[in-house]
Amino acid sequence: MKCFETTIKPLLKFGDGVAKETGKKFKEFGCKKVLAGYDANLPEAIVSTVLDSITAEGIELIPYSCPYADGQDTGVLEVRQLAIDNQVDGFLAMGGGSTMDIVKAASLLVDKPLPIDQYFVGWYNGPDLPRKAHLISIPTTSGTGAEATRSCIIASQTLGVKATLSSQAAKADFVFLDPQITKSLPPYVTATTGMDAISHACEALCCVKSNIFTEMICGKSLELSWANLYTAYKEPENLEARANMSMAAYLGLTGESYGNCGHSMAHAIGARFHVPHGHCCAWTAPVALYFTRKECDYEIRLIARCFGMDDKSETVAADVANAMKKLVWSMNIATPAERGISREDFVSDETVAKVMLDPIWHFCPTEFNEDTARQLLGEGFGHADDSGLAGGVIHLSGVAPEAHHAGKVHDAAVPLLHHLPGRRLHAEKGALQVGADDGVEVLRLHQHQKIVPGDPGVVHQNVDAAKGLEGGVH
């Protein structure tokens, strides 16, 4: 059995309405002045409920409405300066992954000289940065898992890349996981952040760091996300599905979770084409899973069991990858071509270079290089030159290149999507059958995850460096 060290933190309270206890928890911590950072476009009712709970405890509040959906270093500087000017002893990070990362990073840099760039992984080789004030995180999406990790992904204006600031102290002292808050997510963000959660858990299992702890925690994450994502997508008010997705996203990054080439490709695609991170994961996760099939046969069969599929199938990797793609179609997640990206750009030298700069692929158990990166990007786009990998990856014949081509699929291993009104996600006889209404829903970003003009990276990504870090990546 592999050796491993646990790094589990933060403490967590999970349940409907628990975010109302935020003020009480800050008071227990002894905080007198709290800087509250939250997504600028969160519904007012959510913001006021949490902030009012803080002021009700007699705690002075320094609000920061974060306008940055890409983790810009400008936001870190703004929060850091507010904290210095007001001498706060507590931080609240509430929102999607980018806002949480901005507040997390600022909480580590209050006593540190600038510029920020000197503390990014690859530039900084010192000890973990400490945090002297208390930190509470409240995620408002179900996928990024930023509340559970030591990573802060920051868009450096100087370097022109998404870089990682990493410290165990970046993990919150306490997390409120409140499914009520996620009910405001529109279908598109529910779908794409949900695919981020699925990819986190799948990649954590299919990497060189996978261990028995990963199997237990990420296995449960996959059971929850696979059984509930489509329901949450179709039934936004379904609190049971929302609760299960909130927990799935959290667990996916608490199981000593690292990753593989899938997240490196997703990060590169997002940075190059300004596509939300979870959307990129929807393209890359099935391809990455199939790519690791030889080295990760045991883990992929475990994933199949989590999905309620036949784990004894001789084509289990293709079965699982195809099922993932079918779930993506059923939620109307657009293909690269449908987002206006050409295949030439998708597999270009520039995109490949960004993939290879991302450190997560170093955890991939299957040999990975520039050539395989290009081939896998092509597979993610939907048109790969199979011969170039000498069998390293196949074109998934059971997967239609676009959602509206589902009727052209021919694959006995995984049945086609059935357009049955009112059907909910279920597994039957080892195969995934996803229920979907015939109507097509309008794709749109969640109101607090808008793309910022000039965004040098993706809406959200989190990643620890491959070297010198313990505790997982996201």
CB-CB contact of 321 with 401 (8 Å): no
% of the chain at pLDDT higher than 90: 62
To which H or E segment does residue 91 belong?
strand 90-95
Collect all residues with Cβ–Cβ distance below 8 Å to 17 and sequence separation of at least 6. Answer: 178, 180
Mean pLDDT in residue range 69-87: 94
Q: What is the dihedral of CA 302, 305, 309, 310, to 10 degrees?
A: 70
Name 125's bridge partners: none
**Integer Rg of the chain from CA:** 21
What is the DSSP annotation of 328-374? HHHTTPPPTGGGT--HHHHTSHHHHHHHHHSGGGGG-SS---HHHHH
CA 402, 406, 411, 414 dihedral sign is: positive
Prediction pTM value: 0.79
Distance CA 360, CA 20 (A): 37
Q: Give the least confident one: 78-82, 241-245, 459-463.
A: 459-463
Q: What is the layout of strands, in order, in the sheet containing 174-177?
A: 11-14, 174-177, 134-139, 90-95, 33-39, 60-66
Q: List, for residues 148-206, the tens digit of each pLDDT value.
A: 888 898 888 887 777 789 899 999 999 999 999 999 899 999 999 999 999 999 999 99
CB-CB contact of 399 with 326 (8 Å): yes
Pairing of strands 151-156, 134-139: unpaired
User: Mean pLDDT score of the chain, rounded to an integer?
Assistant: 81
Q: List, for residues 199-220, the tens digit of each pLDDT value.
A: 999 999 999 999 998 999 999 9
Tell me how far apart the terminal alpha carbons of the chain are, to the nearest angstrom: 24
168-183 in b/e form (b: 16+ CB < 10 A) is ebbbbbbbbbbbbbbb
